[in-house]
Amino acid sequence: MNRCLLLALTLVATLQFFSMANANDNVLTDAEQKAGWLLLFNGTDLTGWKCNNGKPIAAPIEDGALVPYKSGGYIIIHEKEFDDFIFKCDVKWEDPKCNSGIFFRVEDPENPVHTGFEVQVMSGTKTGKHEFGAIYDLASTTKNNGHETGDWNSVEIKCDGPEIKVKINGEEVCSINCDEFDKPGFCPDGEKHKYKLDKQPRAVKDFARKGYLGFQDHGHKVWYKNVKLLPLEVKPRNAAVDQR
């Protein structure tokens, strides 16, 4: 086999691989459909999405991914509100100083920073309350499980009543129980947090348990795809325990 033919076959195989990979993006698997997952982004248009200020999203879709950068709003949000759920998406960035975030349970879209939660999306290898996978300003990550800049990362956020858990690339890295944040302006560890309403410190336990979700434009280009959500059944607070 001559060298040119070998290179041609390698190129064809590479293109087929990426074509198959793209074909699997932004669709629900059979198992996900049966479980009740919702596909929030179809990969081709902005149906169901808008800026938090109500304006249409100005940024185009790129390679089947949402791009909040220069969208025209602080975050781009989905039109529906969600309460208890498992949310997942894939995210990547190419700027080694990337900063973005996944917002959820946002009560007031015009004030997402102080009326909702954020999972930090950020480059780097550190851990902390402002690092990749952290529930921003509230709980530190236990490890940084992010991939290299330029690679896709999977993010999963589970909200179940007061409990919020975050997985990065399949491993849990951060969690909180909102009911433990009962002191306005403070975390259970005694450190202050930034959240205020009408210029007064908030107790996180008083945050809405239902709201909008979306992706932040913090001045860096970030791509989001495979945006899916599984609504969780509401469990009666005082339901009797089955002893059988």
What is the amino acid identity at position 128?
G
What pLDDT is stored for residue 144 in this prediction?
97
The tally of domains found in the chain comes to: 1
CA gap 166, 155 in Å, rounded:
7
CATH number, domain at 193?
2.60.120.560
186-193, long-range: CB < 8 A, 24+ apart: 187/138, 187/139, 193/137, 193/138
For residue 196, tell me if it sits in a domain: yes
Residue with token string 């990337």: 98
Domain that includes residue 150, residue range: 29-231
What is the end-to-end Cα distance of the chain in Å, rounded? 69
What pLDDT is stored for residue 49 in this prediction?
98
CA gap 93, 240 in Å, rounded:
47
Mean pLDDT by 10 residues, the chain (244 residues): 50 40 88 97 98 98 98 98 98 94 98 98 96 98 97 98 98 98 98 96 97 96 98 58 35
Say whether pTM exceeds 0.85.
yes
For residue 244, tell me if it sits in a domain: no
For residue 9, tell me if it sits in a domain: no
For residue 51, tell me if it sits in a domain: yes
User: In sequence order, what DSSP letters do the residues of 68-92 get, joined into one string?
Assistant: -TTSSSSEEEESS-BSSEEEEEEEE
For residue 13, tell me if it sits in a domain: no
For residue 109, tell me if it sits in a domain: yes
b/e burial code for range 92-125 (CB count within 10 A of at least 16 → b): bbeeeebbbbbbbbbbebeebbbbbbbbbbbbbe
What pLDDT is stored for residue 23 in this prediction?
80
For residue 96, tell me if it sits in a domain: yes
For residue 11, tell me if it sits in a domain: no
What pLDDT is stored for residue 45 in this prediction?
97
Query: Can you give the C-alpha Rg of the chain in angstroms?
Result: 20
